[in-house]
Amino acid sequence: MLVLVVDTSTPAVTAGLVEVTDAGNQTRAVRVTINARAHGEVLAPNIAAMFDETGVRPSDLAAVVAGVGPGPFTGLRVGLVTAAAFGDALGIPTYGVCSLDALGAAASGSGRVLVATDARRREIYWAVYEAGVRVGEPAVDRPAEVAARVGAEVQYAVGDGAHKYADVLAVPVQQEPRYPPVSALAELAADRILRRAPLERLTPLYLRRPDATVPAGRKPVLQ
């Protein structure tokens, strides 16, 4: 079953076409553009380029898989609304995967791994994985807080957030994976795709509330 994969939870604007079968998955095409400010411009042309490159037509798709974050909001929404619109237009199911889970599943070192992506505002989105499986819930915190809480129990770290704050985290950082890989995103949804699970509403993992404060009393204009 041919699947469109998108993830826009990091500066890596990620798209892929993956053939998912009972016997395993085969990645047919991948387009990754690293640009934290161009998710909206880059994603659709990259998907179109994959169609051109492979000769795949949209109507050949059987499902859409989207990384649901956590990630910076504006970019994250580009991938999710793209996936949702593709699913709606083609009448095919959409499945969500926690973007950190894709990094955790692709991490190949031994022992527990800290997965961290850049949350901006000097914070990271993070979770801990053991044998590719998440331990606990994804969270957003300052790197120093994360180091204090789980620094002693993890053997290494992956993800662009780990690279950026390597000195604060004080954990060995593996070069790859740095961003959620297409193959891992597809694999984490493969079971649902193959058993044709009901479509899932793609709910973003924002982990932060909108910045908005209810205004206090109005300031008088008379002195």
Partner 1 sequence: MTDEPIVLGIETSCDETGVGIVRGTTLLANVVASSVDEHARFGGVVPEVASRAHLEAMVPTVERALRTAGLTLADIDAIAVTAGPGLAGTLLVGVAAAKAYALATGKPLYGVNHLAAHVAVDTLEHGPLPEPAVALLVSGGHSSLLRVDDLARGVQPLGATIDDAAGEAFDKVARLLGLPFPGGPPIDRAAQSGDGSAIAFPRGLTAPRDMREHRFDFSFSGLKTAVARWVEARQRAGEPVPVADVAASFQEAVCDVLTAKAIDACRSQGIETLLIGGGVAANSRLRAMATERAARYGIQVRVPRPGLCTDNGAMVAALGTHLVSSGVPPSGLDIPADSALPVEVVSLAEKVA
Distance CA 82, CA 64 (A): 10
For 216, the token pair is: 């206090």
Among the listed residues 26, 35, 45, 149, the single contact to partner 1 using CB under 8 A: 45
Using rule CB under 8 A, residue 55 touches partner 1: no
The rounded distance, in Å, linking the Cα atoms of 29 and 222 is 65
112 binds partner 1 (CB under 8 A): no
Q: Is 212 in the site for partner 1 (CB under 8 A)?
A: yes
89 forms part of the interface with partner 1 (CB under 8 A)? yes
**Closest C-alpha among 136, 131, 128 to residue 154:** 128
Question: What is the spatial distance between Cα 50 and Cα 31, in angstroms, rounded to a whole number?
Answer: 7
Residue with Cβ nearer partner 1 (23 or 222): 222
CA distance 61 to 4: 7
Question: Which residue in 105, 43, 104 sits closest to 77, CA to CA?
Answer: 43
Give min distance, CB of 218 to partner 1, in A: 7
Binding segment toward partner 1, per CB under 8 A, in 87-95, 109-117, 143-151, 168-176: 87-95
Nearer Cβ to partner 1 (164/208): 208
Q: By CB under 8 A, tell whether 168 contacts partner 1.
A: no
Contact between 73 and partner 1 (CB under 8 A)?
A: yes
Asked if residue 198 binds partner 1 (CB under 8 A), the reply is no
Stretch touching partner 1 by CB under 8 A, among 101-109, 118-126, 168-176, 211-219: 211-219
List the Cα angle 86/87/91 in 5-degree steps: 120
Say which DSSP state 219 is in. Answer: P
The closest of 9, 59, 49 to 29, measured between CA atoms, is: 49
Binding footprint of partner 1 on the chain (CB under 8 A): 39-45, 47-48, 58, 73-74, 77-78, 80-90, 204, 206, 210-215, 218, 220-222
